[in-house]
């Protein structure tokens, strides 16, 4: 039988293999994230980082001129985009644009997963950020978006490793949807942690990748709690690979830790769905 340990070993090999098509954390995005995380971020420095990457600059302007802003004049400069969207939203946009590049493959079977994963990641990013602002932790907002956006990157690594196994070992059993689902569910937390280390991002993000499903988690880690809660909201709404329509959000441990009421959680569900509608097509 094609055991999970075989895939586990393959993933570790894949992480260290020269030429492996690993998910990447864009260098410009990393520099912007570092600057945005400062107590007093330099807006001009962030603008310069964006301007130096022509593709990124074009994508940021596309967001600033999206249908959401139809009816007002178009902007043609990053400086004007910052004025329109605000620095925090510009940083979110940079993370969204650069991470989206990881969610594409020539394998149609895997692409179905990646499309759903990308939608889930966006919703979790927005949801986690919405929560920290709502619960009185506005300083965590930039980190919350990134943490939500990257919490499931381990699934990307698992998917890419599965494709590699199929391409390199013609004698390996065909990977069915049921098998792929099991590999993803079992392996993605640790794989996310390993990938975050590879990206050299702050350990706070790596721990969220590792611990966002653990029953024994650090309840004092508000960033982790917010991502876990956003994840549950997405499951209830059916955003992503899994759906749990009957989930009662208010009895989740995370809701109790954050002091969330039924009304607040209902507001969050609406906000997440509206966000996905707003960014659709960007």
Q: Are 236 and 247 in contact (CB under 8 A)?
A: yes
Q: Is position 2 within any domain?
A: no
171 and 200 both lie in a single domain = yes
Q: Are 191 and 206 in contact (CB under 8 A)?
A: no
69 and 87 both lie in a single domain = yes
Provide the number of structural domains found in the chain: 2
35 and 150 both lie in a single domain = no
What is the domain range of residue 63? 25-101
Examine the pLDDT at 62 and tell me if it is beyond 90. no
Average pLDDT, the chain: 89
271 and 207 both lie in a single domain = yes
Q: Is position 257 within any domain?
A: yes
114 and 235 both lie in a single domain = yes
pLDDT digits (tens, 9 = 90+) for 67-106: 766 557 888 999 999 888 888 888 899 999 899 989 988 8
**Looking at the chain, how many residues does it have?**
282
Examine the pLDDT at 5 and tell me if it is beyond 60. no
Q: What pLDDT does 74 receive?
A: 85
Q: What pLDDT does 6 receive?
A: 66
**Residue 168, token pair as written in the block:** 């390199």
Q: What pLDDT does 3 receive?
A: 47
134 and 269 both lie in a single domain = yes
Q: Is position 13 within any domain?
A: no
Predicted TM-score (pTM) above 0.85: yes
Q: Is position 10 within any domain?
A: no
85 and 136 both lie in a single domain = no
């Amino acid at each position: 039988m094609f055991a999970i340990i075989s895939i586990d070993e393959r993933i570790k090999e894949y992480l260290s293999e020269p030429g492996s098509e690993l998910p990447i954390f864009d260098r410009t995005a990393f520099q912007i994230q570092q600057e945005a995380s400062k107590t007093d971020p330099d807006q001009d420095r962030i603008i310069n980082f964006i301007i130096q990457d022509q593709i990124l600059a074009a994508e940021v302007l596309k967001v600033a001129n999206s249908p959401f802003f139809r009816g007002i004049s178009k902007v043609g400069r990053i400086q004007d985009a910052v004025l329109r969207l605000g620095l925090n939203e510009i940083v979110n946009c940079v993370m969204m644009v650069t991470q989206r590049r990881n969610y594409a493959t020539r394998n149609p079977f895997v692409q179905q997963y990646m499309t759903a994963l990308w939608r889930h990641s966006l919703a979790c990013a927005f949801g986690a950020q919405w929560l920290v602002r709502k619960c009185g932790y506005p300083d965590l907002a930039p980190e919350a978006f990134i943490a939500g956006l990257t919490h499931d990157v381990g699934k990307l690594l698992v998917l890419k490793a599965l494709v590699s196994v199929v391409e390199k070992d013609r004698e390996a059993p065909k990977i069915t949807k049921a098998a792929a689902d099991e590999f993803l569910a079992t392996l993605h937390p640790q794989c996310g942690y390993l990938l975050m280390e590879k990206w050299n991002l702050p350990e706070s993000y790596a721990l969220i990748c590792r611990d966002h499903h653990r029953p024994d988690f650090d309840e004092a880690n508000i960033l982790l709690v917010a991502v876990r809660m956003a994840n549950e909201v997405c499951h209830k709404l059916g955003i992503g690979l899994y759906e749990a329509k009957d989930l009662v959000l208010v009895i989740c441990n995370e809701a109790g830790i954050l002091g969330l009421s039924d009304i607040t959680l209902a507001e969050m569900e609406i906000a997440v769905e509206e966000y996905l509608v707003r960014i659709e097509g960007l």
